[in-house]
Structure 1
Amino acid sequence: MVDDEALIRSGFERIIGAAPDITVVATGDAMAAVDLVISTAPEVVLLDIRMPGRNGIEVLADLLSLPDPPAVAMLTTFDSDDFIMRALDAGAAGFLVKDTDPEELPRHIRSLAAGGIVLSPTVGRTVVRGFLGSVRDSPEMHRIGLLTERERGVLQRVGHGDSNSEIGAALFLGVGTVKDYVSSIFVKLEVSTRVQAALVAERGGLLADRSREDGAES
């Protein structure tokens, strides 16, 4: 947990640490973030998007450049639209508002640790609006047509935040096979993160019905 306010760090630590299967290994501010991650090797980092001194975007870039980077979800507020888009471009795995229901936080942590994505509903609307505004007429939207039926099914599941293991279980595929499909989807859509792929899926109308991908063949 990285935030410039000790009170917020303490609150999140108590909430998340109460889950029996989650251990909070460290908390700190932006200046200490990279050293903390290197020394404790967490699977997931919750990172405030707006902090004095070093903002979350700068810290995110440093964390994702590590040899074995954690999944990083940005903590944000309703007035952070520009920061949200910059974090999306930089490779954030999710976006959560600071007043997220405490009961939901452990579930989000588990999803991130498993390779899924998380988007608070209010943040999701901002991300979708901003991202799709920039790609509405771009080639990415037309490249959905390049996907096979199986790739569309996998993309649907990615769009709903499923991890590779969850996708594999739903579609009767090995995790390695799912990874190959996800890599192929990234190449065809010319995106670099699961969040970006999910947003293209949303714009392409693939998230309205999850049932279509079950049993689809490539």
Structure 2
Amino acid sequence: MNNKLDMAEVKVALERKVAQTYEPVKPAVQLGFVHNNVDCIGCRACEIACKDKNGLPPGPRFRRVMYIEGGTYPDVYAYKVNMSCNHCAEPACLPTCPTGAIWKRADNGVVDIDSTLCIGCRRCEAACPFGAPQWDPIEKIVKKCNLCIDELEANRKPYCVMACMMRVLDIGPIDKLWQGAHPTPAIGPHDKPVRQVKNMANPELTTPSIAFIPHSKGRVE
């Protein structure tokens, strides 16, 4: 590539962005994920399904299953936290993109990305507090979860949700998921969803669209 040309394009794009006022999109419905940290067995079927669906090479993972272990015998514990892009109400990645490759859909709140517009500056990767944008070392561009938008438009659920054998991962209107009111096998009748678990970035930064059924050791006091 011609680096001088690339930098000239970036400069023009940045000047155009500065001249605009960023106004967060308020979608008709904000979809989000819910994950049951307690019942997840960490099989990583969701990770593999996601990589297969998106044709990802070794390295980038749109969905990540994190193993949390701790305690001292006999009081030991282990649980899993499963995260991808949280399709935030005010995504930190969006306003940092100099080419407009990232946008938020007005109908369902999905934060989408057009990687054909990506110039590989990786600003979005640095801005996201949840590590959602993923660098593709082969194509030299950033990619990320778009909630399998093609599946949603076909009235199907994302690949990660469909691959979950324990049914601990699901999607729905996030306001209802936070209340535990949306019917999903990930939330039991006595479960109380929370917006944040331990070691997670402060939700107030971007208002992520995710709910958790937390392990007792993963609750934020």
TM-score (norm 1): 0.25
**Structure with larger Rg:** 2
Q: Name which structure has the greater RCO, CA cutoff 8 Å, separation 6+.
A: 2
> Going by fraction, where is helix more abundant, 1 or 2?
1
> Going by fraction, where is strand more abundant, 1 or 2?
2
